[in-house]
């Protein structure tokens, strides 16, 4: 075999190569032989066709002997063509494969087997999938892929693994469901998660670790990866990566290894990179997607993956619906909440000052003063602590939080009542009236605020956002209105304002507890006891809120129906405008404008009142402002 250019083909490529010869696409100087008949000592440049598995031995020989290589892909090898930018047209593919390459690219080995596309340890959906099938798919097709992948999640299990990497043999212990190793940027979802540029001459490769702590976290990752096309700049906590010249993986229980779609044994497994070892003829786009830098630093982003014994043990059994917080996270947060639940002189001082500010703001009808009182009041702290105590069934934390809340509410009521009794006027301002008609919407505000408060408590980086939560839920102003009602002896004012505070308290405690559970601070079997106790409290509070909400709907319907309504009153046509229904004890009141051509007489007024009451379905005290057309 004296010719320098040899075209080797595997058995599955025999018909493909025969077609090339029949079409006279192969020059006469090329020797065409089966891959098993190649004498590598006689070859200076080799062309190959066949399946990836069939070509691996020939590729390893080329790398070992520094023989330049060109691949003529089979028609079905779309991903191979994309990875190395090989032409689709046969003539162009042959022309490129015939050109010897002087530039070498890195070659990744998995247990001494070359890896051209990816090697998977365990199971890592969808990191192990190629995007080509979904690239042109619509949103419904991708949603179906999300659903199928979630179904696969049932069978996934975390495996505690030990990773040794780098020339200095660094060691990391962590838990994951699967690992994807790759050297070149291709159409796998794994390659899209890497924000660093791929280098094919620096002697390093990537390994991505899929390690979801919960099904909820994993579902969020799937949505980003498959629906919104996640990229490296938004790498989630479910995924970490390692970039190194070599790494070894040992698992507590054997994990399956797959190389380029073919099963290749079980762990332990060793990956290494032969730097610039393969002189492969590739297209220009290949170099645009990669750089040929000879030097690069080792990089590791594995810190967010579960590595503590508690999490590794829990995840090894099954992936929970909600994540488990690490022991250090729980201890740190619980310590903070225990401290904030305690009754102290500072707490009472700030709360009394906040009550004075809120009460004065209510009297002078100043929203800015009331907002200042909301920021100053520390009442949110023991409420959040109480929610954690209920969630964890921590009797001491529950008692401490409830005691502090009770003393705080009592101090607020007494302060507002004292201020109302010494001030020389008794008048409900709009700011006061706004806290006397709580509805289900207020409960929803409390629930959202509780979620935000718990989330903020779990993240020190956004702790300043707790002030915004305090403004949104406004705990002290309704208690202050209730205290003012006591000072005036107005029991309806006290009851409605205190109902608003009870709504806020119930909603915050329940939603904060649920949020802490989702964040992993309590298992469901423990959390359900506290939730089962507190949920009826929320439902009980919801009964009067629903009635008020229904009344608000009715008011809105009446006001919409009356606005711009034209009625015939005797011989005159009148038009109604700006209706406003006011609820009072005994009999509601209605204020509105009447637009007419001339003043109404007594009979017409009576007819108008009767027509309006018939229209709204109830008797009301009516105050009318007349406007006349000119």
- Would you place residue 242 in the very low, low, confident or very high pLDDT band (cuts 50, 70, 90)? very high
More confident residue, 546 or 121: 121
Does 95 have pLDDT greater than 60?
yes
At residue 1, the pLDDT reads 38
Q: What is the mean pLDDT of residues 578-583?
A: 83
pLDDT for the residue numbered 411: 95
Rounded to whole angstroms, how far apart are CA atoms 522 and 509?
A: 15
Question: What pLDDT, on the 0 to 100 scale, is given for residue 225?
Answer: 61
How high does pLDDT run on average in the chain?
85
What pLDDT, on a 0 to 100 scale, did the predictor assign at position 613? 85
Rounded distance between C-alpha atoms, residue 321 and residue 241, angstroms: 24
**105-110 and 68-71 beta bridge pairing:** unpaired
* Closest to 443 measured CA to CA, from 383, 387, 503, 502: 503
- Other CB atoms within 10 Å distance of the CB of residue 295: 9
162: closest CA among 248, 77, 78? 248
The runs of H, that is alpha helices, within 171-283 are 189-192, 215-222
Residue 152 has which token pair? 């696969």
Q: Is 281 exposed, middle or buried (0-12, 13-18, 19+ CB in 10 A)?
A: buried
Per-residue pLDDT at 233: 47
Residue 466 has pLDDT above 70, yes or no: no
pLDDT of 235 above 60: yes
Instruction: For residue 547, name the pLDDT band (cuts at 50, 70, 90).
Output: confident
Task: Give whichever of 161-175, 397-411, 455-469, 519-533 has the largest mean pLDDT.
Answer: 397-411
- Is the model's pLDDT at 135 over the cut of 60? no
In angstroms, the Cα distances linking 385 to 58, 388, 533 are: 66, 5, 16
| Cis omega (within 30 of 0) for bond into 126 | yes
Per-residue confidence (pLDDT) for residue 237, from 0 to 100: 75
Q: Which residue has the higher pLDDT, 300 or 145?
A: 300
Give the pLDDT confidence score for residue 464 in this predicted structure. 54
Statement: residue 316 has pLDDT above 70? no
| Averaged pLDDT for residues 333-339 | 88
pLDDT at 473 over 80: no
Q: Which residues of 340-365 are buried (b: 16+ CB within 10 A; e: fewer)?
A: bbebeeebeebbbebbbbbbbbbbee
Max distance between CA atoms of the chain, in angstroms, equals: 122
Q: In whole angstroms, what is the distance from residue 357 CA to residue 102 CA?
A: 79
- Find the mean pLDDT for residues 309-321: 68
- What count of residues does the chain have? 630
- Is the pLDDT higher at 600 or at 416? 416
- pLDDT, residue 2, reads 42
Unique residue bearing structure tokens 């059994």: 317
How far apart (Å, rounded) are the C-alpha atoms in residues 43 and 7?
10
Q: Is 9 a residue whose pLDDT tops 60?
A: yes
Give the per-residue pLDDT at 232. 46
The pLDDT of 234-241, averaged and rounded, is 76
- CA distances, 413 to each of 152, 178, 409, 489, 506 (Å): 56, 58, 6, 13, 19
The pLDDT of residue 570 is 82
Find out whether the peptide bond into 148 is cis, omega within 30 degrees of 0: no
Q: How far apart are CA 503 and CA 434, in angstroms?
A: 15
Confidence of residue 455 (pLDDT cuts 50, 70, 90): confident
Tokens matching residue 541: 């509070």
Q: Tell me what the mean pLDDT of segment 504-515 comes to.
A: 92
pLDDT band at 453 (very low <50, low <70, confident <90, very high): confident
Q: What is the Cβ-side half-sphere exposure of residue 294, based on CA atoms within 13 angstroms?
A: 2
pLDDT digits (tens, 9 = 90+) for 552-577: 788 888 888 888 888 888 888 889 98
Nearest Cα neighbor of 549 from 613, 503, 488, 487 is: 503
């Amino acid at each position: 075999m004296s010719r320098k250019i040899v075209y080797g083909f595997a058995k599955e490529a025999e018909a493909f190569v025969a077609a090339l010869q029949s079409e006279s696409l192969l020059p006469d100087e090329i020797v065409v032989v089966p891959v098993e008949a190649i004498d590598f000592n006689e070859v200076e440049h080799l062309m190959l066709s066949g399946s990836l598995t069939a070509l691996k031995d020939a590729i390893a020989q080329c790398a070992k002997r520094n023989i330049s290589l060109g691949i003529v892909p089979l028609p079905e090898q779309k991903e191979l063509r994309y990875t190395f930018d090989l032409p689709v047209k046969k003539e162009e593919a042959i022309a490129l494969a015939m050109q010897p390459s002087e530039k070498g690219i890195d070659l990744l080995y998995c247990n001494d087997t070359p890896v051209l596309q990816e090697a998977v340890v365990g199971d890592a959906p969808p990191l192990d999938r190629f995007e080509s099938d979904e690239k042109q798919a619509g949103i419904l097709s991708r949603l179906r892929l999300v659903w199928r992948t979630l179904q696969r999640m049932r069978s996934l299990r975390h495996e505690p693994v030990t990773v040794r990497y780098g020339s200095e043999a660094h060691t990391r212990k962590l838990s994951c469901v699967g690992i994807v190793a790759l050297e070149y940027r291709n159409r796998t979802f794994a390659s899209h998660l890497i924000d660093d540029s791929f280098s094919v001459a620096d002697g390093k490769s990537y390994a991505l670790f899929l390690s979801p702590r919960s099904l909820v976290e994993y579902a969020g990752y799937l949505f980003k990866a498959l629906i919104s096309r996640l990229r490296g700049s938004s790498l989630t906590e479910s995924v970490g990566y390692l970039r190194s010249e070599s790494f070894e993986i040992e698992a507590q229980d054997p994990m399956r290894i797959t190389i380029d779609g073919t099963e290749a044994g079980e762990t332990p497994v060793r990956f290494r990179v032969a730097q610039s070892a393969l002189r492969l003829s590739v297209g220009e786009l290949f170099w645009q997607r990669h750089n040929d830098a000879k030097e690069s630093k080792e990089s590791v982003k594995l810190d967010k993956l579960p590595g503590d014994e508690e999490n590794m043990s829990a995840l090894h059994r099954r992936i929970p619906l909600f994540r488990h917080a690490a022991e250090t996270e729980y201890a740190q947060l619980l310590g903070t909440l225990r401290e904030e639940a305690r009754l102290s002189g500072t707490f009472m001082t700030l709360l009394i000052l906040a009550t004075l500010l809120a009460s004065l703001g209510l009297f002078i009808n100043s929203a800015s003063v009331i907002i200042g009182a909301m920021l100053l009041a520390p009442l949110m702290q023991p409420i959040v602590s109480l929610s954690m105590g209920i969630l964890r069934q921590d009797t001491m934390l529950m008692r401490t939080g409830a005691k502090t809340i009770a003393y705080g509410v009592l101090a607020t009521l007494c302060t507002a009542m004292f201020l109302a009794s010494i001030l020389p006027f008794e008048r409900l301002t709009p700011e006061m009236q706004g806290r006397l008609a709580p509805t289900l919407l207020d409960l929803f505000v409390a629930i959202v605020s509780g979620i935000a408060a718990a989330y903020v408590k779990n993240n020190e980086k956004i702790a300043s956002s707790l002030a915004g939560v305090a403004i949104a839920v406004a705990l002290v102003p309704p208690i202050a209105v209730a205290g003012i009602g006591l000072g005036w002896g107005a029991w309806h004012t006290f009851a409605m304002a205190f109902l608003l505070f009870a709504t806020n308290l119930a909603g915050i405690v329940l939603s904060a507890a649920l949020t802490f559970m989702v964040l992993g601070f309590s298992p469901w079997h423990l959390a359900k006891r506290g939730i089962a106790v507190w949920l009826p409290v929320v439902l009980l509070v919801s009964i009067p809120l629903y009635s008020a909400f229904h009344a608000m709907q009715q008011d809105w319907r009446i006001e919409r129906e009356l606005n711009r309504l034209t009625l015939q009153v005797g011989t005159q046509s009148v038009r109604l405008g700006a209706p406003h229904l006011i609820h009072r004890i005994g009999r509601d009141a209605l204020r509105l404008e009447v637009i007419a051509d001339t003043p109404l007489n007594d009979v017409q007024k009576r007819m108008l009142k009767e027509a309006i009451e018939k229209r709204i379905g109830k008797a009301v005290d009516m105050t009318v402002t007349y406007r006349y057309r000119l």
